[in-house]
Amino acid sequence: MLLSLRSGIDADIGWALNRLCRLCDNEQFVLKTIPGLIDALFEWPEWYANEGYKEHAEVTSLFSPNRSRERRKRHALESLFILRNAALNEPNARELGNHRRTKPLVQALIHNLVFDMDENAEFLLHACELLQAIAYTVILPPVLLPTHPNNLLLPLHNIADQCSNRSLIIASFDAMTALFSNPQNAIHLTETSPALRAAIRYLPLFVDKPLLESCLNYLYVHLSQPAMAKATLLQPEMPSTLKLLVSLLLSEQVEEVVSLDVGGTIHTAPALTTDTSRDHELTKEEMDDLLEKPEPQRCYDWYLPNSYLQ
């Protein structure tokens, strides 16, 4: 695969990149086991980040695109995709974070590519996710000039605030959250950043859980710094933001169905067991008196209420 990438033959390069795209989605895929593979994968993305994007920015025919140009763009996108997927594995992220060509590539992609062009969306998405994977090795300079290539924050702020691509917005928030998680980069937190304004603006989107989670994580980075927390809470829009957060907490609560018996203790009256009548047992004198009488006189005397029945 490495020899195919170095060959310069489009068919062989396409075969090697296609195979690497399938292999990189595996924890057992380690870049350093193939010496020279990282440098070979950087060539096409670097070409696109520095020169290729200018060619694709020109107006070309929709029905007859330049095949050679499209093929080179595909090589660059697939190579960047492999680097991004490989960086999800910790050994590869450490290897790429310490490589001399990783940070300049990410900086060139984020600075040079226009984020509101569809053909640049995938490049920027992979660049932001690659930056997120190696963010723990990135230390921003103390002073960031707006046009300086080392200023990674300005283009990320612009993507979060102005881009209409939801995936890019989430990736930019995640990348900035990872960058600011390094205490050495916390000095660049500002309460007036466009990304903070955008994060507050996206909070009402409760149904979009991934976007909402990215915004909350970015807000948490600001509030976790004591000085920045005070400055953030003093902003005019913070009361409405707190109301939104309370509404979010209420919407996330799981409704529990509870059955409550509002009736009192039921008391039942005991069954009536007292006999209202009892059988009369004839004495010997009464029995002898009845036996001597003929029928039907005997029956009449037996049923008389005042004779033998009580």
Residue 271: per-residue pLDDT: 65
Q: Write out pLDDT tens, residues 188-233.
A: 888 888 998 899 899 888 889 999 999 999 999 988 888 788 887 7
Around 104, how many Cα atoms within 13 Å sit in the side-chain half-sphere?
9
pLDDT of 60 over the 60 cut: no
Q: What percent of the chain has pLDDT over 90?
A: 45
Per-residue model confidence (pLDDT) at position 230: 81
**Alpha-carbon torsion angle 203, 207, 210, 216, nearest 10:** 30
pLDDT score of 304: 60
Q: Residue 231 has what pLDDT?
A: 80
Give the range among 3-17, 173-187, 224-238 with minimum mean pLDDT: 224-238
Instruction: Check residue 57 and give its pLDDT.
Output: 59
Give dist(CA 81, CA 21) in Å, integer.
7
pLDDT in tens, 246-278: 888 888 887 788 887 777 777 776 666 555 566
Tokens of 86: 């490989």
pLDDT score of 278? 65
Q: What percent of the chain has pLDDT over 70?
A: 88
Confidence band (pLDDT; 50, 70, 90) for 308?
very low
Nearest CA to 171 out of 213, 142, 140 is that of 213
Token pair 């005997």 is found at 298
Q: Where are the domains of the chain?
A: 1-58+67-138
Residues ≥6 apart with Cβ < 8 Å to 181: 135, 136, 221
**62 pLDDT exceeds 80?**
no
Please report the pLDDT score of residue 53 as a whole number.
Answer: 85
Q: Which of 196, 226, 239 is nearest to 214 (CA)?
A: 196
Q: What is the pLDDT of residues 102-153, one digit of tens each?
A: 999 999 999 999 998 888 999 999 999 999 999 988 988 887 776 666 788 9
